Amino acid sequence: MKLLEATLNLVKEVGEPLFLDTSRSYAYTLLAKFQDNRKLLIRVAPESEQVSKSSLKDLKLLSHYTNTSALCIVSTVGRQILQRGVIHMRDNVTFMSLATFIDVLEGKKQYYKLSRGIITATIEGERLREKRERASVSLNALASELGVSRETVYRYERGDVEAPVRVTQKLISMFGEDVIKEVKIEDKPRITLEEIKSRQIDVNTYRLAESHPDALRADRKVLLISTDVKKFEKTVELANALGVEVERAWTTSRGEKIR
């Protein structure tokens, strides 16, 4: 709850919370609007593994069809603390710490990512080679300085492998920050056609499993579809915040109700 409280305080300070529901673990925790009028669906969870694959699919569907940015704010990934300045990607959704989120809002670039428990960065290989040659540093000399093999430096320059923090920090000190590639944080997480088809229940209509609405329809306009009386009020609130409409009682073209 401390993470959620801190996130809400930040949103109130630099933006505007448009929607919030902490009654259970939905695909999203809140929807916020920031100074550039960009809306952002945010899932807040202490641990990344608490965010299910089903939740991520819901988040991506809502982001894709309502043209809304989305990300997850967590403290740990696999019980490993997600450090400031480190991005974690899962199923094309961005996970970051609250501290990193603050940096992103301030326009600070991010260079490191966490994958399988290891923090790495991608080298701008061509730029590294140019700067190394301009400084008259041989592959062998740089390899010795970095504590890696000549072949590894060659692979850095070809962009074949990522480098651990120890190596990237040494490269930055020698050649500057621009030899490290910035981690691009997508406004909207990419959803595959296969994922979209897996949730299709009718023409242009897709099931939502971990959200207030039971489905969404994306035809000439986007509709959030609700058959649950208990969640209807929050579905309307979410729809208003997203700028879309709500349809209440609904069946498929085959006369099947959403359950």
pLDDT in tens, the chain (259 residues): 799 999 999 999 999 999 999 988 999 999 999 977 889 999 999 999 999 999 999 999 999 999 999 999 999 999 999 999 999 999 999 999 999 999 999 999 999 999 989 999 999 999 999 999 999 999 999 999 999 999 999 999 998 899 999 999 999 999 999 999 999 887 789 999 999 999 999 999 999 999 999 999 998 899 999 988 889 999 999 999 999 999 985 555 555 655 5
Two structure tokens written together for 148: 């890696």
- Write out the two tokens for 44: 């807040």
Task: Report domain extents, the chain.
Answer: 2-116+186-247, 123-179
Rounded to an integer, what distance in angstroms lies between the CA atom of residue 70 and that of residue 61? Answer: 10
pTM of the predicted structure, to 2 decimals = 0.90
Q: Which uninterrupted H or E stretch holds 73?
A: strand 69-77
Angle at the Cα of 21 (from 82 to 114), degrees rounded to 5? Answer: 15
Beta-carbon-side half-sphere exposure of residue 109 (alpha carbons within 13 Å): 8
For 123-179, give the CATH class.
mainly alpha
